[in-house]
Structure 1
């Protein structure tokens, strides 16, 4: 059996598919780690909820808890499976393949859909990174609020 050598476009599409898939996995891993940190911080704050603290510390600490809860929601949305296509018809990927009959699936496997895959996965990766960035910003804000609350508790 003879094979045709891969063209630069073939190599680039394969590399892009691999790269974008890797970025999505990295984002999910980062979000999972931040969720664990967020949860541990919230658990720690819950352990001091019944303590007699100054009103300022309680108020600022409450804002920090709300910020951590908002960050947790964003992180959950980052790791949430996305089986939709945002209203676009994409002839590529798991949700599309799941709707096909076996003969249609076989036919679709004869088409080169790598460019569509790269596009769809890139859109998903960018959304995940945006959510992750927002969550990190909110967590940093919560940590600043917690530092301020701690200073208020010492005063």
Structure 2
């Protein structure tokens, strides 16, 4: 049976739409934007870091990170603390609310992965992951070619 690439793309777009809807629901419930959630996710992996390091990790401008961190400070998710060895730098540090939010993000991430893929046999999941990796690489290459 030959698969039509457009039918597969349509399914991928449908999945993307479902994920965007779920993300929108999360934003509404949590009061956090996707970008602020990404900052917290990054802090969960990196721990307290400078805004410069955050900008690099998120691949955005330092000015963009300043606005994101300002919002997270205002919502009580992070603080800016003096850097222990560099007087010119500050560390973005999760508060208790930020740490709890990061834990909740990790748990919901793990739970969704388990719900979506927990019953998929290893060989099928490996093939799916490989196909996704190839698709992402191709899409990135196509995007670079148009810039």
Shared fold, TM over 0.5:
no
Give the TM-score of the pair, scaled to structure 1.
0.24
Higher helix fraction (1 or 2)? 1
Larger RCO: 1 or 2 (CA < 8 Å, sep 6+) = 1
Give the TM-score of the pair, scaled to structure 2.
0.25
